[in-house]
């Protein structure tokens, strides 16, 4: 047994000073003056439901020189996460039973729950569907993240299958015919610096197609890393008509195109948006139209990311910095509440993707993140545990240090 002593516990919408007794995997008691088993002093610390990220890239199998599941699971635990969904752009990609079983074996050494997403199309080549029926019992959903599904017919057939199998489509929406060789968002910064830009509507055009199909099929549809105000307006309208949700990344909330530097740490897909898009996404946090904050954690080798905006690959890391960035920029400033942050980083994910709730109540499994909200620190190379140091927040001062991460009653990270 473990007693978490004198912590400020998020119960419902309120922080309440209570003790929590954990026996085996379960929260068995929330009360005053508990002193059973091992006692962990949580004075001046805040106890929250542990975080869930439905969008990470752990690079194994096929790209172990960038990262491995075992390594990045420890990175996630340091960030307060106990559950992540691994995107399927791998070699081999989880498109059939044999490939999925490889991934299932690799995830067994992870310190947290690493859920599998299968591909929508075979090897993400958008020519034929993956073997969705064969892999359904292993996967939490289907995604071709990194690529948009090219044809309406293929997406329509995928949605029919996903609906029948009771799994969501988790979509990277991007019409590649509108990219024009761009590497950042088309806008003021790209024109001033003569770096090719990507049209903002490349996301929205394909999203519009998908939403029409989602209404037609009644499939659960989740949009990855929303970056455009036009996309958000479509999502808001279709939420009244079909089962649609969306996520936003911390970097699209905290930064915009005017923060760009010609450095690979600022290159991600979708790219940093305009000031107007950023404002709309922040409003989406406030009004509830955005459901989830996900990191799109995507490690690359530091050599790969040293080639500037033109030649570096897309993708940055974010699991270790997500909570402090959102807490510092949006909770401390009064834009959203701590409860809203927890909904965005934990409780909404569990509802949407049918995981056990991480809500802190007696009888639930003890999946908890314990943070020091008052601890101020600087994001730097020493803080980032991931092999990849590609992150545009180096040198930023933030609050909200994760002290412990607890999965099923066991400590998987301790600062």
Which residues are part of the catalytic machinery? Answer: 296
Q: Given the structure tokens 């690079």, which residue do they identify?
A: 59
Of the candidates 358, 370, 341, the residue with the CA atom closest to the CA atom of residue 46? 370
DSSP 50: P
Of the candidates 181, 258, 242, 249, the residue with the CA atom closest to the CA atom of residue 207? 242
Cis peptide bond N-terminal to 281, omega within 30: no
- Pair 247, 178: CB distance under 8 Å: no
Continuous H helices in 141-293: 152-165, 188-193, 201-217, 229-238, 250-254, 275-287
For 165-174, give one letter per residue: b (16+ CB within 10 A) or e. bebbbbbbbb
Burial class (CB in 10 A: 0-12, 13-18, 19+), 56: buried
Of the candidates 166, 177, 171, the residue with the CA atom closest to the CA atom of residue 211? 171
> SS3 helix, strand, coil % of the chain, rounded to 5?
35, 25, 40
Angle between helices 275-287 and 229-238 (to 10 degrees): 30
Helix (H) or strand (E) holding 133: helix 132-135
DSSP 14: E
């Amino acid at each position: 047994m473990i007693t978490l002593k004198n912590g400020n516990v998020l119960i419902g919408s309120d922080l309440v000073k209570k003790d929590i007794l954990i026996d085996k995997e379960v929260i068995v008691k929330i009360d005053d003056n508990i002193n059973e088993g091992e006692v962990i002093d949580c004075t001046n610390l805040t106890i929250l439901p542990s975080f869930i990220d439905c969008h990470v890239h752990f690079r194994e199998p096929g790209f172990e020189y960038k990262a491995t599941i075992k390594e990045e699971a420890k990175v996630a635990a340091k960030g307060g996460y106990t559950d992540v969904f691994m995107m399927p752009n791998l070699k081999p990609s989880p498109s059939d039973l044999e490939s999925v079983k490889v991934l299932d074996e690799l995830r067994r050494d992870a310190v947290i729950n690493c859920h599998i997403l299968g591909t929508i199309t075979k090897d993400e080549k958008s020519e034929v569907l993956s073997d969705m029926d064969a892999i359904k019992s292993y996967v939490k959903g289907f995604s071709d993240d990194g690529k948009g599904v090219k044809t309406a017919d293929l997406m329509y057939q995928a949605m029919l299958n996903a609906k029948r199998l009771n799994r969501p489509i988790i979509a990277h929406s991007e019409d590649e015919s509108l990219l024009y060789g761009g590497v950042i968002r088309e806008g003021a910064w790209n024109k001033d610096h003569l770096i090719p830009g990507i049209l903002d509507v490349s996301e929205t055009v394909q999203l519009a197609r998908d939403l029409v199909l989602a209404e037609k099929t009644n499939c659960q549809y989740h949009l990855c890393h929303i970056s455009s105000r036009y996309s958000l307006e479509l999502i808001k309208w279709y939420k009244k008509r079909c089962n649609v949700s969306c996520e936003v990344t911390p970097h699209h909330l905290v930064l915009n195109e005017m923060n760009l530097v010609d450095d690979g740490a600022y290159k991600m897909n979708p790219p940093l948006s305009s000031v107007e898009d950023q404002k709309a996404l922040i409003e989406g946090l406030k009004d509830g139209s955005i459901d989830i904050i996900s990191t799109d954690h995507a490690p690359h080798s530091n050599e790969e990311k040293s080639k500037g905006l033109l030649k570096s690959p897309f993708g940055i890391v974010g699991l270790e910095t997500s909570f402090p960035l959102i807490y510092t920029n949006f909770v401390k400033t009064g834009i959203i509440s701590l409860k809203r942050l927890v909904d965005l980083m934990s409780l909404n994910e569990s509802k949407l993707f049918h995981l056990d709730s991480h809500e802190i109540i007696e009888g639930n499994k003890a999946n908890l993140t314990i943070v020091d909200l008052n601890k101020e620190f600087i994001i730097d190379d020493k803080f980032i545990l991931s092999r990849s140091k590609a992150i545009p927040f180096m040198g930023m001062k933030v609050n909200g240090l994760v002290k412990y991460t607890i999965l099923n009653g066991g400590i998987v990270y301790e600062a």
